[in-house]
């Protein structure tokens, strides 16, 4: 009797396993270290939000893996002769709540994004004079021609959502290929495929879970145990744990992040170009690349990453090659043989701390007395970034789609210019860069980068590696120059 019952139970279980197995929904589990902050596109400031929100929201245009923009909710757009009026032609599309995207939604979302009373990044859309609907689409009028404008429309803050949406921060309503189902802070986010996406393409994965795993070692163990299928950004320090695993695939690409030893250009003796030059000449970047990033990054000579291929100036390698002898001479010339400096390092970024420790040794070899000061991130932001009360520090500056957004930081008086860098020709070029288009625009930014390489707001080190690790079988991973994970492109 018992035996027969046991037998039938076992048979039932096997049947469930066999029938249920292949029919189960396709789920992708992605590990990220941190929660988003808010899904209201005009309120969010955390990079972790953009990573997830890319799958939920879309703008009139969106970024491509090559760093260009292509039509999203707009099929295409035209620009008038003076370059000040953009006309966007909308396609038929639906929001996640089933309502159609209307001209009103587009106009109200863009107006909200540039309203300084509401939007955190309203300043970045300040080139817009007016947004108004026309019969077939939306017209955006600019104060003056602006080469960076079209790229700003691909940013999270320019996303389009319904004018009637109530609680975007927690319940985002977009048009993207995935919609947010649930968000449990410190645990994860569940995204569901949106079957009414305008492209008509149905992504392979029905469900995508972004799991919050702060510890990089357990991230790796979870990947090996199969609980996680994809780590889009793996810490270089744990790379060796996954490298030789035959069940995993590792993809490495530039991160579009510029690691730089920022020098306080306003504080003597660093206002003397000879001293800054000495620091640059005395920096062995090859050694930092190997010591801090296991040789995986890309060396930089400019404030742009090579991943911004259409604007990157690749002729600057020989501006200040490693030459400790020359560095010593320059320090002598400047009367700074006994130079002392404090090197402030942000404790929460192991890559920067290690780079700092390496450079400290290299500079000590020049006879400089280097005091290392490792500070917590909050302190770093307050002292180095805001008060600019420091000698030398190191940080990674995130890239954007358009060079202007990155390079404007180094203009005189810019509020993000914690280098206190100032150069008249450079300021002129950055202003000019906005007004020019086509290949001339590229020339402008090439020259601007050359000035940075020569005048040294800081010593540019590397674009750290972005390492994605995934279980074998997960395919279609696309690396973007912006901080996103494109779930819709993935399949198994």
Partner 1 sequence: MITLVLVSILTFFIVQVLPGDPALLMLGTEGTPEVYARLRNEMGLERPLLERYLRWLLSFLQGQWGNSWRYSMPVRGLVARAFPLSLSLAFLAVGVALLVATPAGMFMAAKPRSFAARFMSVTTLVGLGLPQFWVGLLLIQVFAVSLGLLPAGGGSSPVSLLLPTLTLAIPRAAILSRFMRVGMADALKQDYIRTAKAKGVAEGTLFFKHALRNGSLAAFTVAGLQFAQLLAGTIVVEQVFGLPGVGQLLLNGVFQRDLPVVQAVVMVIVFLILLFDLAFDLGLGVLDPRIRYE
Which residues from 43-72 bind partner 1, rule CB under 8 A? Answer: 43, 45-47
Binder of partner 1 out of 18, 82, 225, 439 (CB under 8 A): 225
Regarding 473 and contact with partner 1 (CB under 8 A), the answer is no
Regarding 425 and contact with partner 1 (CB under 8 A), the answer is no
Binder of partner 1 out of 12, 184, 342, 372 (CB under 8 A): 184
Question: Judged by CB, which is closer to partner 1: 320, or 419?
Answer: 419
Which residues from 309-328 bind partner 1, rule CB under 8 A? Answer: none
Regarding 250 and contact with partner 1 (CB under 8 A), the answer is no
Neighbours of 324 (CB within 10 A): 17
Regarding 120 and contact with partner 1 (CB under 8 A), the answer is yes
Binder of partner 1 out of 37, 287, 333, 357 (CB under 8 A): 37
Binder of partner 1 out of 76, 227, 364, 425 (CB under 8 A): 227
Question: Judged by CB, which is closer to partner 1: 185, or 246?
Answer: 185
- Find the shortest distance in angstroms from Cβ 414 to partner 1: 9
* Number of residues located near partner 1, criterion CB under 8 A: 45
Binder of partner 1 out of 121, 285, 352, 404 (CB under 8 A): 121
Regarding 386 and contact with partner 1 (CB under 8 A), the answer is yes
Regarding 389 and contact with partner 1 (CB under 8 A), the answer is no
Regarding 335 and contact with partner 1 (CB under 8 A), the answer is no
Part in contact with partner 1 (CB under 8 A); list of ranges 83-91, 105-113, 182-190, 357-365: 182-190
Regarding 169 and contact with partner 1 (CB under 8 A), the answer is yes
Regarding 211 and contact with partner 1 (CB under 8 A), the answer is yes
Binder of partner 1 out of 16, 115, 226, 472 (CB under 8 A): 226
Question: Which residues of the shown chain bind partner 1 in the complex (CB under 8 A)?
Answer: 35, 37-38, 40, 43, 45-47, 116, 120-121, 123, 169-170, 184-188, 211-215, 217-218, 221-222, 224-227, 376-379, 381-382, 385-386, 395, 397-398, 415-416
């Amino acid at each position: 009797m018992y035996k027969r019952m046991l037998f039938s139970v076992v048979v039932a279980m096997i049947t469930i396993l066999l029938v249920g197995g292949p029919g189960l929904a396709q789920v992708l589990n992605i590990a990220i270290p941190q929660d988003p902050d808010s899904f209201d596109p005009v309120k969010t400031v955390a990079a972790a939000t953009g990573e997830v929100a890319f799958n939920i929201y879309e703008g009139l245009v969106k970024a491509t893996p090559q760093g260009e923009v292509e039509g999203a909710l707009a099929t295409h757009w035209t620009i008038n002769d003076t370059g000040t009026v953009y006309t966007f032609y909308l396609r038929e599309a639906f929001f996640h709540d089933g309502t159609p995207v209307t001209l009103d939604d587009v106009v109200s979302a863009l107006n909200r994004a540039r309203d300084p009373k509401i939007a955190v990044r309203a300043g970045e859309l300040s080139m817009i004079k007016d947004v108004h609907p026309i019969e077939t689409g939306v017209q955006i009028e600019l104060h003056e021609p602006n080469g960076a404008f079209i790229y700003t429309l691909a940013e999270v803050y320019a996303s389009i959502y319904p004018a009637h949406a109530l609680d975007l921060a927690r319940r985002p309503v977009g048009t993207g290929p995935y919609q947010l189902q649930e968000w449990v802070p410190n645990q994860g986010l569940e995204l569901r495929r949106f079957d009414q996406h305008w492209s008509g393409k149905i992504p392979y994965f029905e469900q995508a879970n972004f799991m919050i795993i702060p510890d990089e070692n357990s991230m790796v163990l979870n990947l090996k145990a199969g609980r996680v299928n994809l780590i889009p950004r793996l810490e270089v320090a744990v790379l060796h744990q996954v490298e030789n695993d035959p069940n995993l695939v590792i993809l490495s690409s530039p991160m579009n992040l510029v690691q730089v030893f920022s020098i306080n250009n306003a504080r003597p003796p660093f206002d003397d170009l000879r001293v800054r030059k000495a620091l640059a000449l005395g920096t062995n970047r090859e050694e930092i690349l190997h010591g801090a990033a296991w040789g995986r990054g890309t060396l930089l000579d400019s404030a742009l990453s090579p991943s911004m291929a259409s604007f990157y100036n690749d002729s600057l390698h020989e501006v200040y090659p490693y030459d400790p002898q020359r560095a010593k001479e320059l320090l002598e010339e400047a009367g700074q043989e006994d130079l002392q400096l404090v090197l402030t390092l942000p404790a929460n970024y192991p890559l920067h701390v290690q780079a700092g420790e390496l450079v400290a040794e290299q500079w000590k070899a020049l006879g400089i007395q280097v005091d290392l000061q490792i500070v917590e991130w909050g302190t770093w932001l307050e002292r180095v970034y805001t008060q600019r009360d420091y000698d030398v520090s190191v940080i990674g500056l995130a890239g954007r789609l358009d060079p202007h957004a990155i390079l404007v930081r180094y203009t005189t008086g810019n509020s993000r210019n914690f280098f206190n860098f100032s150069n008249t020709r450079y300021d002129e070029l950055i202003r000019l860069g906005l007004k020019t288009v086509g290949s001339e625009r590229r020339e402008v930014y090439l020259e601007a980068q050359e000035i940075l390489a020569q005048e040294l707001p800081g010593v540019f080190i590397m674009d750290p590696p972005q390492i994605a690790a995934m279980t074998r079988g997960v395919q279609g991973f696309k690396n973007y120059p912006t901080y996103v994970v494109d779930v819709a492109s993935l399949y198994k």
